Structures are given as structure tokens and as C-alpha cells.
Amino acid sequence: MRRGYPSHAGRWQNTGRKWAYRPPANGNRHEIARKEEQAMSSSDALKWLNENFNFVDSVTIIDHSGTIIAKQRFNPRYTDEENAADNQWALGKNLLEVFPGQNFQSSALLAALKTDGVIYRQQEIAWNHLGKKSVTNNLTIPIVCRGQFVGSVQLSRDVTNMGRSGRTVQRAREESSAPAATGARYTLEDIVGQSPEIQEVRRLIQRIANSSSSVLVYGETGTGKELVVSSIHNASYRKDKTFMPINCAALPESILESLLFGTRRGAFTGAEDRVGLIEECSGGTIYLDEINSMPLKLQSKLLRVLDTKTVMALGASKPKEVDIRIVASVNRSPEQLMQNKEMLPDLFYRLNAIHIRVPPLRSRPEDIELLAQHFLDSYNRQLGKQNNGISPEAMELLKTYHWPGNVRELEHTIEAALNLTDGSRELRVEDIPAYFFSPAGASAAGSGGANTRSVPNVPLREAVADYERGLIRQALQEAKGNIDRAAALLQIPRTTLYSRMSKLGLR
């Protein structure tokens, strides 16, 4: 390492086969986590660093929770008192506090916490807590200890002041096999499931991807809304342009407004000329998650962007034209949000040119086995496990649970279960987290849990449809697919059952 790096943070060492991080003597031994086919030889790593970085400007290390535990800059450009104070201020703070617009898709440091391999050649744009923009070329490496992701380390070269043409040349020098750094990590192939509901979501994405119309995505927490939005971007003609996800609930109004719309010098005390994200993403897609958390004043400004295809920076005298697709999402029914005055009706009508509802997991139980196996395979790789399946008893428990946290809860349930196993045996009931067997968890199991769950944040007609769908599925399961017998169990005519199945998308 270069001089100036704090001695308490350990050091990097060439082991002859790969680079490994050596912690101080009183710490645990960590190794770089990577797939065998992604591992770089020492000479390849050095060659790549020389060609793409020239030198490393800075190193940042975070722990498993995203807390910055080490941050050091080596370039003389960044050794002034202001930058030294900024580095000191960041230590001990969460990365999202220092860079409030970042998330697990846009930040390689965070993405590495769930990535079985090195993230490299990713040109990353970020705005810090003061609204200052930075553009960096990064080599980001996950760190594991005893099969657990415990943090990540990032080597960065700052290219903020290189200029657009300089960065274009830099990108052109990268290998053609490098993935486009658009920020959109998911495609249609990442949407797992064969239920009629999820197949309809896929078909809808394919139909509307190349439209320029705005999109409103509605789904409960954990259903996979960002996966859907990312798939829309990657299936569109904008796929090679920027995809910028913004969590509106994570940013205060003052920062969100300047980040989205930009500022001009003199707009307020300390304001400088900065391009906003809407203008920066021109040609691409901007994803506004939890848009109902955006103050109504900003919703009104966003409505003008949608209507005029222009953006007006704070302190600017005239608007600028932008070519951007805006996709927004909410996790409660739009009708409820408008009734509670959390969303402007005019903005809803403008965004709702295309509406996609992501179904809750409880309404597509036939996908649970596919999803569970998908997450099992994924975490087997990430945790270095070789578990070869899920026992029938454990799978039955997963299928009858209500899943209030939807697909995200299922994913973390599989992750938690894998952490409790060793060897290559299958997952068993005893590996399932204990809360499944608590009174609250037990009340959520059974026939979809529709009669015991709390009032959902969905319209009554959708809740009733979910409940009816669950009853019909249960009857068909007990009748082993026999329509006449299922109709008898439900005490309705056979023709009525056919009609209800068709209306509910069960045929």
C-alpha cells in the first residue's frame, strides 16, 4: 500500500495466486471472495490497475452494515485540510448517510456485499450529503470471513474533472466484454416464476419497454418492484443509457430537489452550478421509488417535467429540454395515497399512462418452490455451501406461510436457513427461522393466511380477489385438479368455478 494508509487498517499482500487482505495481528483473517473463473492473477490485476487507474486516488472500506471503517486518499489533489476533514467526518457513518442517493444497485461498495466476485471497471456517479458530485472508476472487492460477507473494499480513481470527452476516451479503452455501467442490473430473465400473474408481468414489460410513456409500478414491500423497473430499462432502446434509481423516502426535501433539478450559482447560500439527475440522465431512465414520500411541492415540479419534457434548475432563468423516461413506484394503493393527500392526483394520472401491479407472493404460491430453489442456488455460491435441496416437509412449510414480507422475506429466510446448516444435506424444517413457529407466524400459515392477516394496504376488491384465489387454489389442490370435486368442496356450480378461475387468472 502507499504511504499514508492507516496502519490499523491492515494491508494488501500478493500471495502469488491472488490478492488478499491481511488484517492487523489482533484481527480475523479475511480473504477476497470471488468465483474461480473471475479471479485475477497478480500480473493481470496489476496490468489492469495500471491501464485503467494510472494510480489509485483513494481506498474505502465498509463493514457488512455499510458503515465506513476506513477511508484514505493518496493523490496530492486530495490532501488539503478540507478533504482530510471530510474523510474524518465520514468514518463511522453509514455509506448512505455520506452518499444519500446511493443504493445496492448504484453503489459498487454496497453491491459487493452480496456479490460473489469482483466488481470492476464500473464508472460510478454519486452525490454526497452536501450535493457535491463525484465520478470515479472503481475496483470493488467483497471480503468474507468463514463464509460470511463481512465488508467490501474499493480502490478508486477520481475522474470528476477529467471532462466528458476524457471519460468517453477512458470508457472506449475498456474491454468490449465489460458490462455497460448503466446501473440497471436486472433483466427479464431475473424475474423468477411461472404463475399466470408473473407471466403477465413479463408480457407487459415486453409490450411497453420501448414506449416513451411514463410508468407507475405498484406492489407491496418486497415484491420486486426495482427488478421490474430495471427489466423495463434493459428491454428498451434506452438500455445503453443511464438508469438512475432514487429512493425518495431516504432524502430530505432540500437535498432531493437540488439533486433532481440541479442548481445555479447564487440560487441559495453556498449554491454552485450543478447539473441535476434529471438532466444528467437525459436519454436514459430515472426510477423514483416511493414517490409518495416526495413532498407535494416537488411532485408539482416533477409533473411539469412530465408535461413539458423540460427541467428548470434552482436559480436558472430558463428550462432545458430533456429526453428522459420517468418510472415511479408506490407500495400502497394509489387511491389510498391520493385520498390521504400523499400523492397529487394529476401526477398519478400522468404517471399512470402505463400501470404495472407486481403481485404479492401469497397470490402466486406456485412460484414459491422455484424462488426457494433459485435463492438456495444463489446463496450456496455466495456462502460456499453445497446444500442439495429442500426437504418436502420444509417446502410444505414455505408454501403454507403467508409471506407478509413477500419475495424479499423468502430470500432472507433461505439465507438464514443456509447459515444454520453445514455439509451438503438438504434444508430441513429445523433450519427454518424460529419466528415461523411463533404464534404470529403460525397465524400467517394455513390457507394463505388471508383470514388472519392484518388489513393490507390494498383496495378491498384486490384483497377479496386474493382471498378467493387462495380458496380456489386450496380446493383444487385437495381435489387433485378435479374441477367437479373442487366445485363441490367450494359448494358452487362447476360453471361458476370455471368463470371465477378465468376472471382471477387461474386458467
Largest interatomic CA distance in the chain = 81
Give the residue extent of every domain in the chain: 7-172, 188-357, 361-444, 460-503
Backbone angles phi, psi at 304, to 5 degrees: -65, -40
Structure confidence at residue 286 (pLDDT): 93
What single DSSP character describes residue 178?
A: S
* Residue 140, SS3 per DSSP: strand
The reply to whether 460-503 shares the fold of 7-172 is no
Grid cell for residue 33: 471472495
Topology classification of domain 7-172: Beta-Lactamase (3.30.450)
Helices (H), 179-333: 196-208, 225-234, 253-261, 277-280, 296-308
Structure confidence at residue 358 (pLDDT): 96
pLDDT of residue 441 exceeding 80: no
Burial of 2 (0-12, 13-18, 19+ CB in 10 A): exposed
Backbone angles phi, psi at 124, to 5 degrees: -120, 130
Please state the rounded mean pLDDT for residues 455-479: 72
d(CA 254, CA 314): 11
pLDDT of residue 170 exceeding 50: no
Question: Which residues have C-beta within 8 Å of that of residue 409, sequence separation ≥ 6?
Answer: 222, 361, 403
Instruction: Determine the straight-line distance between the first and last CA of the chain, rounded to whole angstroms.
Output: 62
Query: Could you tell me the CATH superfamily of domain 188-357?
Result: P-loop containing nucleotide triphosphate hydrolases (3.40.50.300)
Select from 462, 476, 337, 359 the least CA-distant residue to 407: 359
Structure confidence at residue 139 (pLDDT): 81
pLDDT band for 167, please (50, 70, 90 cuts): very low
Q: What is the pLDDT of residues 362-397, one digit of tens each?
A: 999 999 999 999 999 888 888 888 888 898 888 888
Contact 457, 331 (CB under 8 A): yes
Per-position DSSP letters for 315-368, written without gaps between them? T-SS-EE---EEEEEESS-HHHHHHTTSS-HHHHHHHTTEEEEPPPGGG-GGGH
Q: Which residue has the higher pLDDT, 396 or 218?
A: 218
Residue type, 385: K
Select from 105, 95, 52 the least CA-distant residue to 242: 105
- Architecture, CATH, for domain 460-503: Orthogonal Bundle (1.10)
Greatest mean pLDDT among 33-47, 96-110, 237-251 lies in 237-251
Q: Which residue has the higher pLDDT, 98 or 26?
A: 98
**Exposure pattern of 158-181 as b/e (b: 16+ CB <10 Å)?**
bbeeeeeeeeeebeeebeeeeeeb
Question: Which residues have C-beta within 8 Å of that of residue 427, sequence separation ≥ 6?
Answer: 376, 387, 389, 390, 391, 394, 414, 417, 418, 421
Q: Which residue has the higher pLDDT, 168 or 468?
A: 468
* Residue 23, SS3 per DSSP: coil
pLDDT, averaged across the chain? 76
pLDDT band for 80, please (50, 70, 90 cuts): low
Topology classification of domain 361-444: Helicase, Ruva Protein; domain 3 (1.10.8)
